[in-house]
């Protein structure tokens, strides 16, 4: 009997990355989940990621503290207000201020380092090019270029022991489809966290890009939204 | 009059990166030097990098604390002894245990994030494919792949504001040639630090790969080696 293959899964505790964890688990991988504490305002993410890791039975959940402070310029790490679209319900049309420079590049670089250390060749990331909020580093062109670079940068790959693969199982799925796939695999979305701007007790704001995408996903998937929103915001999936 | 262009220069306080700083300065760039505190044993590096930044007149010197602990497997961050070749004077033939998984990938990713934040398009790194100690992420193939990826990953590049360039002015130079170029630009190598395994007071061991390369460089450049070695080690450039 061969040993199960190891996979590194980038986990934010959100809807997308939790679905990816379930997919990798369903493919028989031994799971190693990786979260980043980068001074983000939504520390509720890290708490959700920890819960998700426990429920998914990951072999190891690693939280790495990284300092993106000086690389700022983003509403996720700086004091810029997160934009709200509660009145119009519209998503931002251009690359939003919640963009963090080179964030997925840094995240995937750490995943690559950990993969090489563990002897894993498979890295999963829940990027999505459909409902992707305009982030350039969520597109297939970026992922392909990262994979090429990864296989030229590491001892393990250069010595011919294997080939790193960046898996993006959600990249062409709508949010509704992601939710349907996750539910089919038994994901409990009530423990996941997507909001960019939660209340101090961790309730979702219901008005940021991420909340709007999530609400629309449950609505389009014709399934109840288990998210606890702050009470002044009505969920679009409510009757 | 146009403003001078900004350059991010990865600086370890070593011979190579200090030469690169001098080269970028000579090309008229405004300098932003970036060092990493990654729990390396040779904290003497960071002290040298700070001194170098002051002497080179950089606009800002940033030290970023990054946690590579769990991504270990290397003599530079872990408790593996640094190999010494004092008896034979030979360099390691294969990729050495001082290799840190995906190190340059992580370093360049941070540089990219800082570059986008500052509005800089030029990143300088002192990698060298001649005397390169067998690190896969010091080769031109890797650098080219990183540059391609960088221009697909960032808002600034995707929106067409410019194109990131990774400059590797040392990549095809011998250590002796690097030293000659640096001396011509007025570099004071006595403040630089290369040793992987210095004494508590910061003196170079004289026996690790990095010390051997440095000694050979001064010897081949037919110029005195200003490095202070621990006294039980004889410098190869001594008579």
Could you report the per-residue pLDDT of B93-110, keeping only the tens digit for each?
A: 455 555 677 889 999 999
pLDDT at position B85 is 45
DSSP 3-state assignment of A8? strand
- Set of chain B residues whose Cβ sits within 8 Å of the Cβ of A137: 152-154
Determine which of B6-10, B93-97, B202-206 has the lowest per-residue pLDDT on average: B93-97
Q: Going edge to edge, which strands form the sheet with A122-124?
A: A60-65, A30-37, A6-10, A122-124, A165-167
Span B220-235, mean pLDDT? 80
Region B7-24: mean pLDDT is 96
B148, A153: Cβ pair inside 8 Å? Answer: no
Contact B71 A110 (CB under 8 A): yes
Question: Given this model, what pLDDT does residue B81 score?
Answer: 52
**Phi/psi class of residue A236: alpha, beta or left (left: φ > 0; alpha: ψ in -120 to 50)?**
alpha
CA–CA gap between residue B202 and residue B80 (Å, rounded): 20
Note the pLDDT of residue A233: 47
**Average pLDDT of span B209-222:** 92
Which residue ranges of chain A lie beneath pLDDT 50?
1, 73-80, 82, 85-93, 95, 233-239
What lies within 8 Å, CB to CB, of A61 at 6+ separation is A11, A32, A33, A34, A35, A49, A50, A53, A54
Residue B91: the pLDDT is 46
ipTM reported for the complex, 2 dp: 0.84
Determine the 3-state secondary structure of B120 from DSSP.
Answer: coil
Q: Is the pTM of this model over 0.90?
A: no
| pLDDT confidence bin for B159, thresholds 50/70/90 | confident
pLDDT tens across A150-192, in order? Answer: 999 987 788 888 999 999 999 999 999 999 999 999 999 999 9
Whole-angstrom distance, CA of residue B71 vs CA of residue A115: 8
Q: Which of B65, B110, B137 faces A106 most closely, judged by CB atoms?
A: B110
Question: So what's the pLDDT on residue B201?
Answer: 81
Q: What is the mean pLDDT of chain B?
A: 83
pLDDT in tens, B24-41: 999 999 999 999 887 665
Q: Which residues pair with A166 in a beta bridge?
A: A123
Q: Closest-CA residue in chain B for A99?
A: B155
Closest residue in chain B to residue A109, using alpha carbons only = B106
Confidence of residue B179 (pLDDT cuts 50, 70, 90): very high
Instruction: Report the residue of chain A nearest B99, measured CA to CA.
Output: A155
CA distance A96 to chain B (A): 10
Q: B155 and A95 in contact by Cβ < 8 A? A: yes
pLDDT recorded at residue A87: 39
* Rounded (5°) CA angle A23-A24-A29: 145
Please, are residues B52 and B191 in contact by the beta-carbon 8 Å criterion? yes
Q: Say if residue B152's pLDDT is above 50.
A: yes
Please list, in sequence order, all residues whose beta carbon lies within 8 angstroms of the beta carbon of residue A73, skipping any fewer than 6 positions away: A101, B116, B117
Whole-angstrom distance, CA of residue A149 vs CA of residue B109: 12
At residue B238, the pLDDT reads 45
């Amino acid at each position: 009997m061969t040993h199960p293959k190891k996979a590194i899964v980038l986990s934010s505790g959100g809807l997308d990355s939790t679905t990816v964890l379930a997919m990798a688990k369903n493919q028989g991988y031994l799971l190693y989940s990786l979260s980043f504490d980068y001074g983000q305002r939504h520390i509720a993410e890290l708490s959700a990621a920890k819960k998700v890791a426990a429920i998914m039975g990951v072999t190891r959940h690693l939280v790495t503290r990284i300092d993106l402070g000086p690389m700022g310029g983003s509403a996720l790490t700086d004091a810029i207000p997160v934009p709200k679209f509660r009145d119009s319900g519209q998503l931002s049309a251009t690359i939003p201020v919640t963009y963090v420079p080179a964030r997925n590049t840094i995240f995937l670089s750490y995943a690559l380092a950990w993969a090489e250390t563990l002897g894993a060749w498979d890295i999963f990331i829940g990027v999505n090019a459909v409902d992707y909020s305009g982030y350039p580093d969520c597109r297939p062109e970026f992922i392909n270029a990262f994979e090429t670079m990864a296989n030229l940068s590491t001892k393990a790959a250069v010595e011919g022991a294997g080939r790193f693969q960046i898996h993006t199982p959600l990249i062409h799925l709508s949010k509704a489809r992601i939710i349907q796939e996750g539910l089919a695999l038994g994901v409990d979305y009530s423990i996941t966290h997507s909001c960019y701007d939660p209340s101090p007790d961790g309730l979702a704001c219901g008005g940021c890009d991420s909340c709007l995408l999530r609400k629309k996903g449950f609505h389009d998937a014709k399934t109840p939204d288990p998210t606890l929103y702050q009470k002044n915001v009505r969920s679009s999936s409510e009757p």
